[in-house]
Structure 1
Amino acid sequence: MALTVAQVMTLPGMRMRLLSGRAGLTHVVRWAHVSELTDPVPWLRGGELVMTIGLGLPADAEGRRAYVERLSGAGCAGLAFALGESMAAVPEEVLSAADACGLAVLEILTPFIAVAEAVAAWHADERVRGERRVVAAQEGLARAALQSGTPGILRALTEHTGGETLLLDPHGNPGAAAPAGERPWHPRAVDAARNAAGRADDGRSPVRSSGVLDDGIHVVQVQSLGFSGPPTGWLAVRTASPLEWHVRMLTNQAACLLAMELLGVRAGRVKAHAQREALLAAVLDGGLSARQLGELCPVAAPPYEVVAARPGVTIEAAIEALGEVVADPDAEELVFVCPRPGTTLFVLREDGRRRGGDLCGRLGVSGGGCRALTLDELPSAARHATALSASADGYTHVDDLEPWALLRDAFDPDAGRRFSAAVLRPLREHEDRHGGHLVASVRAFLESGENVETAARQLGVHRNTLRRRLAAAERVSGRSLTDPAHRLQLWLAVSLTDLVPPGRVPPAGDRTSE
């Protein structure tokens, strides 16, 4: 709260009356000062109620007008005369100049020292009142943080400062605001935050920073959020100018609460994604079925975009990039983030546009992507996305590679599964009864170029053990590994899901692949 000229006139024990310059009654009085100098301006700082008996008032009319104009130009709050000592009345040219400048001219009947003491006492009391208001406001901010989180902090800060607030992300993009909705001053705050974020990124400014934009009517504070490392966001507060000390203090308090809130939110997001990560990893490794995944945690509706980012990044960096790309917290809760050796997998809902390129761009890594129409297709989609990421420059989706897309579209997924099941059924039934890993042995033998030594090392068995398994596979399946047609059938059966990317959209009316 500010002390105005009008309020000074009503302080206890004050006897004053307004002579001219009514527009100046709203000027803020910082101090009451006595001066009999012809030009007191060099000794003033602005906001003073200048008291005089008129000894320094120039003798000529033009000089008196210039005296008033200099005081007004220096930011004086008002001019008060004690009459009867040096002059009986205030000269007319002083009164007319004061009206023209909007500088209040008073007649003062109270001793100068009493006025100075009253003004000083008011400011001392106001400081105490301000400190009490700040303490109450800080308690209100803390309660709001506990009860409502970020929105509550912004609303409480707006209420206690009488201004408007805006929260921005680490890159300076606007987010929550109080009051809600876009305001004309928001672009200025966005520019200030983005400039500061750019300086922090290239090391030209400290991690914690703040700035003030003051146009003389309103002031906008832009304060970084965070305690170490790059800013986790920015807080912008717009209040009336000049910037009051308690507003600055409350802004700092709110910035600390918001930083802690963001850290808590980030920790919660990391924990939630870690739980989902473990379930997806189990599906990819074959320890959990797709149906069980859907039963154990919320899953977005298909189709899915499976993204492999390489090299792998920290879970914190992955989640931050994910939040920037997805933007919707509810949608983010249905996304999977799964670190794998050398890569990081994301499973997002494909809602008409691909987000893999944006994700990899945010992370500054290359990546590959593949569509999955069902949860059952996730392991195969992850393998194809990972294979693409190893050779991709930037982000490459399976659909961008014409041969892959043509090969996928040439196959009916359901027919392919039936073919594999028919060819491998005798081998799997034999494994169920007698063991022996016949399917894995056949696959290793064919993938190694029919080299028994290489396949045996890959499987970790003796070459004679592998030869016995291969012989059993030929007998049980009725297919010879020396016959090219039989080898082709076995090769397609064991590797079809790896050769052909998933995510084929069934043609209209094709019910076999639904």
Structure 2
Amino acid sequence: MALTVQRLSQNADLGLTLVAGHSGADRVIEWAHAIELADPAPWITGGELVMTTGLAIGPSDSEQFDYVTRLVRARAAALAVDTGMTFDAVPDGIRAAGDALGLPVLAVPPHTPFIAVTRAVIDDLTADRVRAVQQVVDQQDKFARDLLRGGIPHLVTALGRALSCSVVLVDAEGGALSVHGPDAGRALEHARSVSRGSGRRRQAGSAFADEHATYLVQSVSVAREPHGYLAVASPAALQPEERLLVAHAMALLSIELGKPAKVLDAEQRLRTVVTQALVNLGPELDAGLLRYFGFDEDTRVVAITVTNVGPALPALRETADVITRQSVPYLLSPIREGLLLVVSDDRGRDWVVELVARLGARLERTLRAGRGGTAVIAETAVSLRQARAALHLGPTQETVVDFSDTGTFSMLFGGRSPGELSAMSRIVLGPLEDYDAAHGSSVDLVTALRTWLRNDAHIESAARELGVHRHTMRSRMAKVGQLLGRDLDSAEVRVELWIAVKARELLDVLETD
């Protein structure tokens, strides 16, 4: 807490009395200086409590007014007048000038020496400095924890909150990695401007101000190569303690952006283990493992499955690189059909579309992705089942299928366990499955039914797809109707059969995982 004139006057040991200039009582005292010159201005720099016995203030009101005027012009914080030597009380001229010019005037009692006032000021300033340093140290520890728990976005947010400023981090090409605060838009523009100029001038950073804020832009370098730029937009120039926080945040960012390949590989191996454990253990997984990757037990997430990624190691490496550049907390693991990605639920379909496009370009493959529904992180397995369902039940022409895009199926199958799906399909298709099992591979009535329904109950089209004669197809469908005891010409029956077939398809996907 800064030492104001009001606070100093409340020090009972000193016994000072504020006798004039009450409007400036909240002025901050930066030093205390005893001086007996008629014009102290050349000897002070601003913010001082000027102490005098009154030897040179002049006997007349006009001289005293001029004396106070010179202190005001020199930006003194306050004037303290001894009342035990030259004057028994603060002169009326000094009081009137203090009130007129807004300079606080303190009466110093005879028993209080100036050295006591000076010590009180120095002690308070020292304590304030110690508090400020301790706050910086505490905040530095918090920055490290935030980086470990939430990655770069958490660190940028923590810096912005600590400074009450807007903070932006961009990569070396000017791409936004993380933003925080109401003035982030302008800070982002300035950061990008510096990043564009760095290639020509090797700019380490810049500081400037406009009508909106004061901006500090610094390069975040690794081995002298800029990996990004941090911009801070503040209402006024940063104080030394605040600059220390910025410097510490930049050091942490440099470490994070410059992780060696071996560290990244080890981190990804751990991420894979945690992802697989999360799917298998759910709420039993230690939440501390999740915090390391930027999640906690209350985070709501979505599971994303990406297919046709090719060999797992290159796919994992490229996916991790694409997402890390965006500073998005994530979990990632190879699965049977490709990759499983877990991110916070604010990453919508458009984000997944962009991710698939970038990743597909890097891997030189045509990818498809399914996005599950929102779930608390302990229920990631449910979102994973929904993501798989989206891929197999959604429109095949779509590159990215959201579970909500599957319409009725999302309500029917959302989060269903393999046991529930088996019951849904078995109660309808059981007779066909038993018949197929008894007759081997020569006849597959379930496949015949699925193909017939997919071709809008058109015998010729279904036969052509299966590569059999239309009479064979007609015979098989007659057998289906006989075994099920249903009228296959009924629209209601066809809907029931189609739901059962889709449940069976999804069950096949889950059981082969």
Given that residues 68 and 97 in structure 2 are in contact (C-alpha distance below 8 angstroms), is that contact kept between their aligned partners in structure 1?
Answer: yes
Q: Residues 342-378 of structure 1, C-alpha deviation per residue, up to 9 Å, x if partnerless?
A: xx8866899xxxxxxxxxxxxxxxxxxxxxx899xxx
Counterparts of residues 51-66 of structure 1 (less than 5 Å): 51-66=51-66
Deviation at 1:251, TM superposition (A): 0.9
Output the CA distance in 2 between the equivalents of 1:229 and 1:319: 23
Alignment partner of 2:218: what SS? Answer: strand
Output the CA distance in 2 between the equivalents of 1:124 and 1:334: 57
Q: CA RMSD in A?
A: 4.4
Match of 1:200 among 181, 193, 198: 198
Output the CA distance in 2 between the equivalents of 1:22 and 1:38: 24
Q: Residues 386-445 of structure 1, C-alpha deviation per residue, up to 9 Å, x if partnerless?
A: xxxxxxxxxxxxxxxxxxxxxxxxxxxxxxxxxxxxxxxxxxxxxxxxxxxxxxxxxxxx
Match of 2:144 among 142, 145, 170: 142
Deviation at 1:253, TM superposition (A): 0.8
Alignment of 1:334 with 2:356, yes or no, is yes
Output the CA distance in 1 between the equivalents of 2:142 and 2:35: 45
Match of 1:131 among 94, 114, 133: 133
Which residue is 1:74 aligned to?
74
Which residue is 1:386 aligned to?
none
Report the AA paired with residue 30 of structure 1.
Answer: E
Given that residues 172 and 191 in structure 1 are in contact (C-alpha distance below 8 angstroms), is that contact kept between their aligned partners in structure 2?
Answer: no
Output the CA distance in 2 between the equivalents of 1:72 and 1:29: 14
Output the CA distance in 2 between the equivalents of 1:249 and 1:234: 17
Given that residues 172 and 227 in structure 2 are in contact (C-alpha distance below 8 angstroms), is that contact kept between their aligned partners in structure 1?
Answer: yes
> Is there any run of 5+ residues in structure 2 with no aligned partner, and where?
269-305, 328-347, 369-396, 400-513
Given that residues 46 and 76 in structure 1 are in contact (C-alpha distance below 8 angstroms), is that contact kept between their aligned partners in structure 2?
Answer: yes
Deviation at 1:260, TM superposition (A): 2.8
Q: Residues 66-114 of structure 1, C-alpha deviation per residue, up to 9 Å, x if partnerless?
A: 3223322322111111123222333434333323332211112221101
Change (3 A) 1:128 1:69: same
Which residue is 2:221 aligned to?
226
Alignment of 1:2 with 2:2, yes or no, is yes
Which residue is 2:256 aligned to?
261
Output the CA distance in 1 between the equivalents of 2:210 and 2:54: 37
Change (3 A) 1:229 1:323: farther
Deviation at 1:148, TM superposition (A): 0.9
Deviation at 1:23, TM superposition (A): 2.2
Deviation at 1:239, TM superposition (A): 4.7
Q: Residues 147-196 of structure 1, C-alpha deviation per residue, up to 9 Å, x if partnerless?
A: 01122212322343344433344455655333xxx62x445534543443
Deviation at 1:50, TM superposition (A): 0.6
Given that residues 219 and 242 in structure 1 are in contact (C-alpha distance below 8 angstroms), is that contact kept between their aligned partners in structure 2?
Answer: yes
Match of 2:243 among 241, 244, 248: 248
Match of 2:308 among 274, 290, 293: 293
Alignment length, in residue pairs? 308
Match of 1:122 among 99, 124, 131: 124
Output the CA distance in 2 between the equivalents of 1:336 and 1:241: 40
Residue identity (%): 32
Deviation at 1:211, TM superposition (A): 2.4
Which residue is 1:84 aligned to?
84
Output the CA distance in 2 between the equivalents of 1:198 and 1:85: 67
Deviation at 1:337, TM superposition (A): 6.1
Alignment partner of 2:229: what SS? Answer: strand
Deviation at 1:240, TM superposition (A): 5.9
Output the CA distance in 2 between the equivalents of 1:222 and 1:21: 41
Output the CA distance in 1 between the equivalents of 2:102 and 2:351: 54
Output the CA distance in 2 between the equivalents of 1:5 and 1:159: 29
Deviation at 1:54, TM superposition (A): 1.4
Output the CA distance in 2 between the equivalents of 1:27 and 1:130: 19
Which residue is 2:445 aligned to?
none
Deviation at 1:34, TM superposition (A): 0.5
Output the CA distance in 2 between the equivalents of 1:21 and 1:244: 28
Output the CA distance in 2 between the equivalents of 1:233 and 1:30: 38
Change (3 A) 1:258 1:140: same
Change (3 A) 1:197 1:92: farther
Output the CA distance in 2 between the equivalents of 1:74 and 1:55: 20
> Is there any run of 5+ residues in structure 1 with no aligned partner, and where?
273-290, 299-314, 351-372, 376-514
Report the AA paired with residue 118 of structure 1.
Answer: A
Alignment partner of 1:100: what SS? Answer: helix
Which residue is 1:30 aligned to?
30
Alignment partner of 1:26: what SS? Answer: coil
Given that residues 209 and 215 in structure 2 are in contact (C-alpha distance below 8 angstroms), is that contact kept between their aligned partners in structure 1?
Answer: yes
Q: Residues 256-306 of structure 1, C-alpha deviation per residue, up to 9 Å, x if partnerless?
A: 22233334599969x99xxxxxxxxxxxxxxxxxx98368779xxxxxxxx
Output the CA distance in 2 between the equivalents of 1:124 and 1:40: 25
Deviation at 1:144, TM superposition (A): 0.6
Change (3 A) 1:57 1:201: same
Counterparts of residues 173-188 of structure 1 (less than 5 Å): 176-178=178-180, 183=182, 185-186=183-184, 188=186
Change (3 A) 1:242 1:108: farther
Change (3 A) 1:238 1:338: closer
Report the AA paired with residue 92 of structure 1.
Answer: D
Q: In terms of mean alpha carbon deviation, does 144-153 or 240-249 score higher? A: 240-249
Deviation at 1:127, TM superposition (A): 2.4
Output the CA distance in 1 between the equivalents of 2:219 and 2:184: 16
Which residue is 2:48 aligned to?
48
Given that residues 200 and 230 in structure 1 are in contact (C-alpha distance below 8 angstroms), is that contact kept between their aligned partners in structure 2?
Answer: no
Output the CA distance in 2 between the equivalents of 1:37 and 1:45: 15
